[in-house]
């Protein structure tokens, strides 16, 4: 029975009250969850402290949606990886497609964040994926390999660190609940590409590879049924309690089957 990772990226969908209510729902769900399923939540920075203790009681780990690579200083609006670690954070998203494409985050900046996350003692969730145009041009593999290589090559890696990589094709990420999911076989193929690239750079590291991009109750089983898919990074569907409940139930059942 493999371990399945269900990561909920709440993005900027919820206000403080909504975050607290959903955290309560997640906590009640965790009690019924299969021990082979691990849940993590990436709330907004404002909601972080108010839901931390509730989620910790249910062994639900917390993650940061974004970090800055300098520990302290005059960087208005930023929160460092070190600060998140001190607050009890476990994971940190690095290079999410919305950071890369809406905020022009470069591969160089992603690399700096990877270094900061590891130095702080957080577990990185490196996000990679191609745009619709890059896919149409037949460059999916090239783009993803480059993103992985720029983030990991010559990185000072400790054997104590886990490496999570989320393959999230930009063209598949939903906006306000609307998105076209990547075919499960294509996702599996790209996961194999990622695994091979990581092995070439860090041969002693076994990456935990997640799929992200319009994951819903209707398609989650297709992804999790693959031996190359270790879990999912869910956006819009993770902020709907009934939807998340369905995905938790399906994930537990997939592992039994």
Neighbours of 176 (CB within 10 A): 7
- Out of 96, 98, 188, 197, the active site residue is 96
Distance CA(46)–CA(137), nearest Å, equals 40
The contacts of residue 77 (CB under 8 Å, 6+ apart) are none
Q: Which residue has the tokens 């799929």?
A: 211
Phi, psi (deg, nearest 5) at residue 33: -75, 145
Q: Which residue has the tokens 């577990």?
A: 123
Phi, psi (deg, nearest 5) at residue 53: -65, -40
Residue 196 contacts residue 144 (beta carbons within 8 Å): no
Three-state secondary structure along 153-206?
CCCCCCCCCCCEEEECCHHHCCECCECCCCCHHHHHHHHHHHHHHHHHHCCCCC
Clarify whether 168 is annotated catalytic: yes
- Out of 38, 98, 130, 168, the active site residue is 168
- Active-site positions read 96, 168
């Amino acid at each position: 029975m493999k371990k399945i990772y269900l990561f909920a990226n709440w993005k900027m969908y919820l206000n403080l009250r909504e975050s607290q209510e959903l955290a309560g729902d997640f906590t009640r769900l965790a009690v019924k969850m299969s021990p082979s399923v691990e849940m993590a939540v990436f709330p907004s920075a404002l909601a972080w402290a108010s839901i931390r203790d509730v989620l910790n009681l249910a062994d639900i780990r917390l993650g940061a949606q974004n970090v800055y690579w300098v520990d302290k200083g005059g960087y208005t609006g930023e929160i460092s990886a070190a600060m998140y670690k001190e607050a009890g954070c476990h994971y940190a998203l690095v290079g999410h497609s919305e950071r890369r494409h809406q905020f022009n985050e470069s591969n160089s900046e992603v690399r700096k964040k990877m270094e900061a996350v590891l130095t702080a003692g957080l577990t990185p969730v490196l996000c990679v994926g191609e745009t619709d145009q890059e896919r149409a041009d037949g460059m999916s593999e090239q783009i993803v390999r480059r993103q992985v290589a720029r983030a990991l090559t010559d990185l000072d890696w400790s054997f104590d660190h886990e490496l999570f990589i989320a393959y999230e094709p930009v063209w598949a990420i939903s906006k306000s609940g609307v998105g076209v999911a990547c075919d499960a076989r294509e996702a599996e193929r790209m996961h194999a590409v990622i695994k091979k690239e990581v092995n070439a750079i860090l041969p002693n590291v076994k990456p935990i590879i997640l799929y992200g991009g319009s994951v819903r109750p209707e398609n989650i089983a297709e992804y999790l049924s693959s031996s190359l898919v270790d879990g999912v990074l869910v956006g819009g569907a993770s902020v709907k309690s009934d939807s998340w409940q369905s995905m938790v139930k399906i994930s537990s059942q997939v592992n039994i089957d």
